[in-house]
Amino acid sequence: MKRIRSARRLQSAVRSARSKGESVGFVPTMGFLHEGHLSLVRRARRDNDVVVASIFVNPLQFGPGEDFESYPRDLARDRRLLRSEGVDFVYEPAAADLYPREFATRVVVDGLDQALCGTRRPGHFAGVTTIVTKLLNAAGPDRLYLGQKDFQQAVILTRMVEDLDFAVKVVVCPTVREADGLAMSSRNSYLTTEERAFAPELFRALSKVRKLVQAGEIKTAASAVKRVESLLKDGPGRIDYIEILSREDLGRVRKLSGKLVLAVAYYLGKARLIDNVWIQAPKGS
């Protein structure tokens, strides 16, 4: 596995692979890797001749008061994990190189950020779309691997890739969970033992309501949201949002039908946890 710090070098490495007709898969990460990241890497490894992963905690996608400074980092361990998964190139750019003083460009996807994390973290997704544009230009992949856990991010990046004619296919992989159902996240490391014990309730609540919606027992968005609320209300943390939306365009729905996503964000100690489940609602009566 080769470590690469500059976009130019990564471009020439990928270009030379491509000139041999090889396909390239790319997994962007903020490091502090867990099984969720590694599932993306393994999928990329299966699908492509060359696998590029990036490790970069992107300051642009953190708002004031968020956890940019304290975001967990363990580069040595990350490299070991990526090497053991057969990654060919790990891209580790420096913030000063990616964002020099004169940096002035933003990539923005309008509309899809008017729900879920988009309304709670202003500027977050513009930070994500801007860094991913840079990373795609540096890695020049055929396939981009994203996790379902960050579902809004996946929807927005898919829109961006289509809109900007990137020659890349977006592959969204299922959320990887701990044995008790908690969605894997680098931010789980913030949790105390007590908080960690409560954390699986998020997925349990989502799963319960998914079942009720799919059984036709819950028919409106309002009652679905209310039911998740009541399941979480005695927890030690604080609900940021619970929303049930159309899965394709993240639009609001009133009566539940078709392809939906039920998503939650929850403040638990120092962490803000997010999770979501996909729901196929029965045809309305």
**Among residues 35, 66, 163, 194, which is the contact residue for a second copy, using CB under 8 A?**
163
Which span sits near a second copy by CB under 8 A: 146-154, 162-170, 203-211, 265-273? 162-170
State yes or no: residue 259 binds a second copy (CB under 8 A): no
β-pair partners for 146: 172
Q: Which residue, 67 or 142, is less far from a second copy as judged by CB?
A: 142
Nearest distance, CB of residue 87 and a second copy, angstroms: 20
Q: Which residue, 1 or 7, is less far from a second copy as judged by CB?
A: 7
State yes or no: residue 247 binds a second copy (CB under 8 A): no
* One character per residue 205-244, x = contact with a second copy (rule: CB under 8 A): ----------------------------------------
Distances in Å between the Cα of 65 and the Cα atoms of 14, 94, 188, 240 are 37, 22, 18, 16
State yes or no: residue 167 binds a second copy (CB under 8 A): yes
Q: Is 35 left (phi over 0), alpha (psi -120 to 50) or beta?
A: alpha
Which span sits near a second copy by CB under 8 A: 16-24, 33-41, 58-66, 180-188? 16-24
Residues in the chain: 285
Which H, E and C letters describe 151-192, residue by residue?
A: HHHHHHHHHHHHHCCCCCEEEEECCCECCCCCECCHHHHHCC
Residues between 84 and 123 that touch a second copy (CB under 8 A): 98, 102-112
Query: Edge-to-edge strand order for the sheet containing 238-246?
Result: 238-246, 258-268, 271-281
State yes or no: residue 282 binds a second copy (CB under 8 A): no
State yes or no: residue 53 binds a second copy (CB under 8 A): no
State yes or no: residue 198 binds a second copy (CB under 8 A): no
State yes or no: residue 42 binds a second copy (CB under 8 A): no
Q: Give the residue among 154, 26, 155 at the shortest CA–CA distance from 89.
A: 26
Query: Could you tell me whether strands 258-268 and 238-246 are parallel, antiparallel, or unpaired per DSSP bridges?
Result: antiparallel
Q: Are 205 and 264 in contact (CB under 8 A)?
A: yes
β-pair partners for 267: 238, 272
Positions marked active-site: 37
The site for a second copy (CB under 8 A) is made up of 7-8, 11, 15, 18-19, 21, 98, 102-112, 129-130, 133-134, 137-138, 140, 159-160, 163-167, 249
